[in-house]
Structure 1
Amino acid sequence: MKASLSSGRPVIGHASAIWRRLRLNEIGPLGALLTLSTLGWAFFYLADEVGEGSTAALDRKILLSLRNPADLSDPIGPRWLEETMRDITGLGSVFTIVFVTAAVASYLALTRKHRVALLVIAAVGGGEIVSTVLKLFYHRPRPDLVPHGMEVFTASFPSGHAMMSAIAYLTLAILLARLNPERRVKALVLVIGVATTLLVGVSRVYLGVHWPSDVLAGWCVGAAWAALCWFVALQLQRSGEVEAPDPPP
């Protein structure tokens, strides 16, 4: 019985190694490129629809549904919900994104994953540049249908908060998940990244500072950028340019 169990271990280990190579060299890159192309197409399609005014009616309907019909300056729900939404939207602010990115990069550097730390900084910094360029190019005015729940200073399309939260939190989640071999840890990190991204986008619509189409476009671009960073990370890891995940115990 012992001999059969011990003889099975190399077979299991070999199968596991084959599966890891497939994920790194075949499945992972293909999945990343498919996600990138799909979300990139979705963004440009949505941008075209917004330019033609096709989303205006739905945008107005959703924005008004989140307001008290008797007083459009009053979002639906209790007062604490509005304050909570302001707290949530702060997770997508420039300061918070920079702080979180710096904290994660510092942790990676201290754990001797210097190249991954540089990749994190490049991914989030590059995403901020893309966000700025897109806002300047489309230059869509902010919603004037309802009073804003907070001060805004830039153009509306795509939502910078939604886009940067997707870029930062999804990219960080993907890269950190790549560095840990345990599935439970991978799942937790990815769920937190996705949940944070969705909550930030919803808060922008609730506070009346973005049209829903702005937020949807921000999610598309941000997630597409995260997929691109995933693809780059896989290629660099395969070539040994960045550190491989820690071996399982």
Structure 2
Amino acid sequence: MQSFLENIVTLLPGGGLYYLLIGTIALLESIVLVGLLVPGSTLILLVGFLAAHGKGDVTTIAISAFTGALIGDMCSYVLGCRFGTRLLHSNLFRKRLGLIRKAELFFARHGGKSLFLGRFAGPLRGSIPFVAGCSGMRPGAFFNNTLLSCILWGIVYPGLGYLGAASWQKVQQLTGQFSLLLATLVVLFILNSLFWKKLFPRIVKRSQSLWLRLTVAWLSFLHRPGITALSKRFPRLWTFAADRFSLKKGSGLYLTCGFAFSTLFSGLFFWLLNSFELVSRVDQKIYTLLGQLHHPLADRLMLLASSLANLPALLIICGLLLLWLVLNNRDFSAAILLVGMGGGELLVLLGKLLFYRLRPEPFFAQLQSTSASFPSGHAFSSLLFVGLLAYYLFGALRYWQSRLLMIILLSFFALVVGLSRCYLGVHWFSDIVAGYLLAATWLTFLLTTLEVRRRFIGEFPWRSGWQPLQLSARQRYAIMALASGVALYAMSYYLLLQLGLL
């Protein structure tokens, strides 16, 4: 490997010519269409890799890459401003019209942010500045947005190559058990993503189709002579039953669906309890399997994931979310967060007392616990919190791609927390599943309450439109920025304590 690198280094120029070459590569990759022929990002990564082996100074490399990228973006912008219409009708651009259209849609969707995002979006890297110029974006706004993206790109790409080379020997040592754990996490992430991207939309579509057929069958059933006579004979009972499927009342279909899902999840929870023999065999096999995956770095990673769902960490995160809700005068949502998380902890405590089950022998002595194992409080709290967080943020995100990404990441976090508890040996696998099912039951109840409140605000004894805090957007942002800084410091300090680094 070392001799191969030495052969590459001898072929490259030295001194200022080397840095000029780096800047030229970054410049060419940033020019519309030309960048498709120049693998600039890959080459800049390689340059960072070589810097760790003595070829050039990594700081000067970053400055050269940033300068070239900025000049390239500005060239593409000027081309769009001055010659955009003429170039779009040329034969060269017609062959790549699909790429230009994608860049136009991306720019229309994200505005000035697209210059930052597009810098890290591969083929769109040179097209976005060109489209910005064609659309008549002001030079000052363009420069401000592209400057930040070029600075970050100039630091990140050489830096990744440099860090990758510096840790080359360490990477070779992290094979075996750690590789298996990484593979498990990758597979878990892929399966989770496929569920939300592919399977869940199909389930929703099938459910809508099934609901339509049931509605038609129900209406046909209601018009039968015998049913009509029954409704006239028992009008109050009939009205009560019909109201449970009404979309005009908060106590109608939404409440019925919430009750149905709560019943489903609670039914699965009690089925798990009644399948103790089968579950015990599965638990033991998974416990034995995970015991073979241990590696010092993997242990730290899983301990970190588990610590994020500890009570102090949850209090920090929930406090920040609560402040955001209060500042935005979402008083009912704030109340649900308090009741939901607090009531959830009591629900888990009650479950541990009722279904007392001994924990497995933990793989680390410092994690020994005297509390019951079933259900897992960490699994419960992580799923409950990310479910409420996703609901609160869903309306704040405008685009469905952002919403989908949020759901994928939050659900993956909850899954990793559950995996970490099994990996550390402090819970059986069935404890984790039970925690998720219990959380899903409680979460369904809370989300149903929130949704009914949102759609039928007049049906609840809660003051409508109450806004105790009259703050400007700038004041809210300032308070949230300060609180986020404090929360980040507190969370970092706590996690470092948990990892034994303080």
TM-score, with length taken from structure 2: 0.39
Which entry has the higher C-alpha Rg, 1 or 2? 2
* Percent of paired sites with the same residue: 25
Q: Highest relative contact order (Cα 8 Å, sep 6+), 1 or 2?
A: 1
Contact 2:254 2:452 in 1 (8 A): no
Contact 1:170 1:226 in 2 (8 A): yes
Instruction: Out of 224-233 and 148-157, give the one that drifted further.
Output: 148-157
Q: 1:167 aligns with which of 361, 384, 388?
A: 384
Q: 1:114 deviation in Å? A: 2.1
User: Structure 1 117/179 Cα, relative in aligned 2: closer, same or farther at 3 Å?
Assistant: farther
Aligned to 1:64: 288
Q: 2:264 aligns with which of 24, 38, 55?
A: 38
Aligned to 1:193: 410
Query: 1: CA distance between counterparts of 2:369 and 2:280?
Result: 21
Aligned to 1:113: 330
Query: 2: CA distance between counterparts of 1:31 and 1:192?
Result: 26
Query: 2: CA distance between counterparts of 1:27 and 1:148?
Result: 51
Q: 2:367 aligns with which of 150, 160, 166?
A: 150
Query: 1: CA distance between counterparts of 2:411 and 2:288?
Result: 26
The one-letter code of the counterpart of 1:46 is L
Contact 1:141 1:155 in 2 (8 A): yes
Aligned to 1:15: none
Q: 1:48 aligns with which of 246, 271, 274?
A: 274
Q: 1:107 deviation in Å? A: 0.7
Gaps of 5+ in 2: 1-246, 466-502
Contact 2:357 2:373 in 1 (8 A): yes
**Mapping 1:216-227, distance limit 5 Å:** 216-227=433-444
Contact 1:149 1:207 in 2 (8 A): no
Q: 1:223 deviation in Å? A: 1.6
The one-letter code of the counterpart of 1:90 is S
Q: 1:174 deviation in Å? A: 2.1
Summarize deviations over 1:21-41 as a string: whole Å, max 9, x none.
Answer: x7x978865654443222111
Computed over aligned residues only, the root mean square deviation of the Cα atoms, in angstroms, reads: 2.7
Query: 2: CA distance between counterparts of 1:37 and 1:206?
Result: 30
Q: Secondary structure at 2:386's aligned position in 1? A: helix
Aligned to 1:215: 432
User: Structure 1 191/32 Cα, relative in aligned 2: closer, same or farther at 3 Å?
Assistant: farther
Count of residues in correspondence between the two structures: 214
Contact 1:156 1:210 in 2 (8 A): yes
Q: 1:163 deviation in Å? A: 0.9
Contact 1:29 1:234 in 2 (8 A): no
Aligned to 1:5: none
The one-letter code of the counterpart of 1:83 is R
Contact 1:33 1:228 in 2 (8 A): yes
Contact 1:124 1:168 in 2 (8 A): yes
TM-score, with length taken from structure 1: 0.76
The one-letter code of the counterpart of 1:138 is F
Q: Secondary structure at 1:169's aligned position in 2? A: helix
Query: 2: CA distance between counterparts of 1:148 and 1:60?
Result: 19
Query: 2: CA distance between counterparts of 1:147 and 1:103?
Result: 32
User: Structure 1 49/145 Cα, relative in aligned 2: closer, same or farther at 3 Å?
Assistant: farther
Contact 1:89 1:200 in 2 (8 A): yes
The one-letter code of the counterpart of 1:82 is D
Gaps of 5+ in 1: 1-21, 69-75, 244-249
User: Structure 1 178/45 Cα, relative in aligned 2: closer, same or farther at 3 Å?
Assistant: farther
Aligned to 2:320: 103
Q: Secondary structure at 1:62's aligned position in 2? A: helix
Q: 2:450 aligns with which of 225, 230, 233?
A: 233
